[in-house]
Amino acid sequence: MPVRPNSGDPSRFLPLPPAALHILLSLAREPRHGYGIMQDVARQSGGQYKLGPGTLYDNLQRLLDQDLAEQSRKKSDDPRRRYYQLTALGRAVLEADVERLKSVVRHARSSLKPAGARP
C-alpha cells in the first residue's frame, strides 16, 4: 500500500463519521469479524445505533484504505470469515476523536448550565 502524505497525523481524519467511530471502538477491544462488529456496535450503543451490512462494509473498506484498520491474521473455523483489527494509526485517530468528543461534551455541559450558575 502506498504511503500517504501526513498519514501519521490523526487530526486529518477528524471528526470521524458516527459509523467509523463505532467500528473503531469495536475493534479497539479485539479483532472482530463483520457480524461481530455489528453486534458489538448495537450493544455498545444500547441498541440505539445499528449498522446494516452495506454501511458496515462500505465503512470498513474506507478504514482499510485509510490504514486505520487492517485484516487480522486471526484464524477462523470458517475460511469465508474475515477478521479486522485496528492499526496503530487507527488507535491514534480513535484516541484523538475521543478527546475531541470529551471537549465537545465539556463545552455542551457548560453551555447548558442555567444562567447565573457558577462554572
Residue 94, all three cell numbers:
480513535
Q: What pLDDT was estimated at residue 2?
A: 42
pLDDT of residue 3: 42
Q: What is the CATH number of domain 14-111?
A: 1.10.10.10
Give the residue, 119 or 70, on which the prediction is more confident: 70
- pLDDT exceeds 70 at position 78: yes
Check if the beta carbon of residue 70 is closer than 8 Å to that of residue 84: yes
Mark residue 44 as left, alpha or beta (left: phi above 0; alpha: psi -120 to 50; beta: remaining).
alpha
Domain range annotation of the chain: 14-111
Cβ density class 49-78: b for 16+ within 10 Å, e for less: eebeeebbeebbeebbebbbbbebeeeeee
Cis status of the peptide bond prior to 31, with omega within 30 of 0: no
pLDDT tens for each residue of 34-72: 999 999 999 999 999 999 999 999 999 999 999 999 998
Q: How confident is the model at residue 118 (pLDDT cuts 50, 70, 90)?
A: low
